[in-house]
Amino acid sequence: MKFIDLDQQYNRIKDKIDKAVIQAISDGKYIMGPQVAKLEQRLADYVGVKNCITCSNGTDALSICLMAWNIGEGDAVFTTDFTFFATAEVISLSKATPVFVDCCPDTFNIDPVKLEQQIIKTIKKGRLKPKAIIAVDLFGLPADYDEINKIAQKYSLKVLSDSAQGFGGIYKGRKACSLGDVATTSFFPAKPLGCYGDGGAVFTNDDSLADIMRSIRVHGKGSDKYDNIRIGLNARLDTIQAAILDCKLDIFDDELDMRNNIASEYTKKLKDYISTPVVPKGLRSAWAQYTIKLPDPSRRSEIMERLKERGIPTMIYYPKPMHQQTAFSNLEFDSEDYAVSEKICSEVLSLPMHPYLTNEEIEKITSSLLEIINS
């Protein structure tokens, strides 16, 4: 059993993918071939926004946005304490200062009440200028955008939605990647919509911002290829990866349904005994991960070891919150502000999750887990 099984997906659409890859190679348009523009249109239509700008990966997608907003030294960018490092990394890379916000114990996403508290705290300190919020759709579940956007409006902040794990999710009738001023996603192979290498995308309804981001994607190009009008990146998506994603998008909605069915099966079998993921009303998760909280965190490594002996792989997403990362040890913060994320980091355990898990596998995983926990 695999934690994420990409072979089964490949076998399902092998003929199409092989053909598309060979076509891309024989066409010879390796950089920004027509497959890239086609994919951008399809993704924009899928999400329901005007502009999709594909790029090199989900981390660069975040950077492109912060660069387009001119975020830099002296600026504060608020983000969740419980996320993958890249979300916070790009803030420091832009020379701005990350201000971490504790998360909700049930959804794992940024806590809007604590977000406002951190904004007020930062304003009171007076050293940094609050500029933006990066909300993360952790494990595939959209963050609470109604509340986040309300707070952003109140303090004139931009909202960047890091939906690297969230593509395909739904928030009150709206698709993930259409929430906030700008949204980004990742096509890293293990994400809900993954390619066969690195890839990412930025989404926005703001046409002029989209033009700036297209320029940043290619060395800050102007209308003349050899007159560069700003400092940018080399951050394009490969044509071959666009061709692969075009094939995978065809089966994406079906795979989302499969993920949702698997998550329901897991929850049905586990919910009476352990803390299972919460999906608030009106939301749909893309189920990048299925993450439970163990009743006795001190037993986590033993439980993982015993599951492994039975051929069941599990992962810890994530063992360490942002405020405890060595790279951020220079930042000032009050550690008592992060009681929830610290606790969660000790409790979480992610179970195998991909669209092709069988009922037999789910039964094996859940019965083994409950047996081990109760022994």
Q: Give the residues lining the site for ligand PLP (CB under 6 A).
A: 57-59, 83-84, 86-87, 136, 162, 164-165, 186, 188, 198, 200
In the complex, the smallest distance separating the C-beta of residue 132 from ligand PLP, rounded to whole angstroms, is: 15
In the complex, the smallest distance separating the C-beta of residue 244 from ligand PLP, rounded to whole angstroms, is: 15
Closest to ligand PLP by CB, 46 or 82: 82
Cα–Cα distance for residue pair 20/8, rounded to 1 Å = 18
For residue 260, report the phi and psi dihedrals to the nearest 5 degrees. Answer: -65, -35
Closest to ligand PLP by CB, 136 or 292: 136
Closest to ligand PLP by CB, 307 or 321: 321
First-residue to last-residue Cα distance in the chain: 23
Cα–Cα distance for residue pair 51/211, rounded to 1 Å = 9
Give alpha helix (H) positions in 220-358. Answer: 239-250, 252-270, 300-309, 339-347
In the complex, the smallest distance separating the C-beta of residue 121 from ligand PLP, rounded to whole angstroms, is: 24
In the complex, the smallest distance separating the C-beta of residue 296 from ligand PLP, rounded to whole angstroms, is: 27
In the complex, the smallest distance separating the C-beta of residue 186 from ligand PLP, rounded to whole angstroms, is: 3
Pairing of strands 129-136, 174-175: unpaired
- Cα–Cα distances in angstroms (integers) from residue 167 to residues 68, 162, 299, in the given order: 22, 10, 33
Burial of 361 (0-12, 13-18, 19+ CB in 10 A): middle
Of all residues in this chain, which one has the CB nearest to ligand PLP in the complex?
A: 58
Cα–Cα distance for residue pair 217/224, rounded to 1 Å = 15
Closest to ligand PLP by CB, 90 or 157: 90
Residue given tokens 């926990």 in the structure block: 373
In the complex, the smallest distance separating the C-beta of residue 17 from ligand PLP, rounded to whole angstroms, is: 20
Closest to ligand PLP by CB, 136 or 340: 136
Closest to ligand PLP by CB, 79 or 149: 79
Q: Tokens for 29, please give them.
A: 């348009």
